[in-house]
Amino acid sequence: MPRFLTHYWQLFALLTGALFTLSFAPFNYPYLAPLALSLLFYSWQNTPPLRAFLIGYCFGIGSFGVGISWVYISVHDFGGANSFNASLITLLCVLFWGVFPALAGYISAKTQLNKSQKLSYIALPIIWMLIEYCRGELILNGFPWLQIAYAQLDTPLAGYIPVLGAYGTGLISTLMATGLIGIFQQPRYQIVLMALLLTILSIGATLKTIQWTQPNGAPIKVSLLQGNLSQDQKWLPENKTKTLLWYKATTEAHWDSELIIWPETAIPAYLSEVNDWFIQPLSKQAEQHQSTVVVSLPFKNEAINEKYNTVMSLGKDSGLYKKRHLLPFGEYLPLQPLSGFILNSLAIKLGDFNAGDKNQTLLKAAGHPFITTICYEDAFGALGLVNIDQAAFLINLTNDAWFGNSIEPYQHLQLARMRALETGRFLLRATNTGITAIIDFKGHVVQQAALFEPATLTDSITPMKGLTPYAHIGDRPILILLVTVFFILIRLSRRTPFNNPTDAL
């Protein structure tokens, strides 16, 4: 690294991290992601471990400081925390998740994989993606927000998504970032590297033209309902009847649809409280009109004191789905008893739910089984692959009302689009306050409702069959590749003489 940058790179990394976040929704400047990473990776080359950690940490703070600023709205506006406590919790979240880019820099330096320019072109993307996998799947039940592949849904690199999934496409994206560095650092290979980058983009563009799955029967007419009841009003007793009447009346106006979908916990009551006088009559109506109504409400098993976040299909093919992947600090408290003590001291009330079985019978609508996810579950690609060979489409019921008028609903919609493209199936996404959307099997938004407006989306979707390559293989081959190459690179680094001495911090 040039000496004049060593004292200023941390500040520049903050700006670069914010630049990285602008590649995601709602800003949608996707090519900023590999550009920002190329600047970060360049700053790590031949850098001591502690300095690489600090630079990476500044990048992470810049990225998550912008990218998850909506935590404040959730905790303050709807979680009941005062301004100081909400700011403190938001800061802690940013500082915690910001550690992961820092770890990537530290590991690259500690293993000396950043000392050789040519070796770093492969090593840094491998380490970055291993850290992304740990953050996205393992830590605190996983947090895959702001992973680079999600920014590429509207670029040629999207062609790799149904083949390699989010982590495989992320690896290609990060390799392109180091390719950009190589163009400037390796004048002898500039033409070769530029040709390689263009080839990667061309292959991706070609893959986008391939239809990996096929229609499976006649189109299905669907209606998605968005009631637009804000989170602070949703559970007030005086609003329950009004809410139920709106959804019931809107449903009855769309009995010509074969499938009608309500958002997450659109019914603000436990199943036992509304089953006899509301759920069962509605189910009979749906059966009479040869339609299926998919609703969501909490379920309590009094006998064993368990609570679940659930989805029910009403009509001829009735069934119940229990949410499998719970939201930490929202539906359960990890790191007990520490987290419970802290949140109780801050006077923040959170849910206490149980997770459903990992392998549940698929719900059905219009004669077709479908994959069900509730809210945060659509952020995890592997979760949507369970029994995907049986499913004709995907349904996600979400409540983004917790995040108000922030960038989160747009980011969440971007995550959902990834699941449709990975599996080659339509995804129907009903939300309380937005963004309700119909997404086709290529990951394109066919229709979407505006934020904070009552809305109904009606259209036809095509049930699909067959499997994308990613649906066949999942994430395991990419993970094995990442780990294997990482250890091969370590062995190579021990045999490689380094010409550039490591500067002192």
Name the DSSP class of 257.
Answer: S
Dmax over CA atoms of the chain, in Å, equals 78
Strands 464-465 and 319-322 come out as unpaired
Per annotation, catalytic residue among 322, 323, 364, 442: 323
Q: Among 375, 377, 408, 422, which one carries the catalytic annotation?
A: 375
Q: What are phi and psi of 146, to 5 degrees?
A: 60, 35
The catalytic position among 258, 264, 331, 422 is 264
Residue 472 burial (CB count, 10 A): 13
Number of residues assigned to the chain: 505
8 A C-beta contact, residue 306 and residue 345: no
From residue 493, alpha-carbon distances to 1, 115, 127, 486 in Å are 19, 9, 14, 11
Q: Are 413 and 450 in contact (CB under 8 A)?
A: no
Q: List strand residue ranges (DSSP E) for 50-203, in order.
A: none
> In this structure, are strands 427-431 and 437-439 parallel, antiparallel, or unpaired?
antiparallel
* Strands annotated E in 114-254: 214-215, 220-226
Annotation marks residue 264 as catalytic: yes
Q: Is 58 a catalytic residue?
A: no
The first and second tokens of residue 73, run together, are 């709205």
307 catalytic residue (yes or no) = no
Three-state secondary structure readout of 323-361? CCCCCECCCECCCCCHHHHHHHHCCCCCCCCCCCCCCCC
Residue positions annotated with a catalytic role = 264, 323, 375
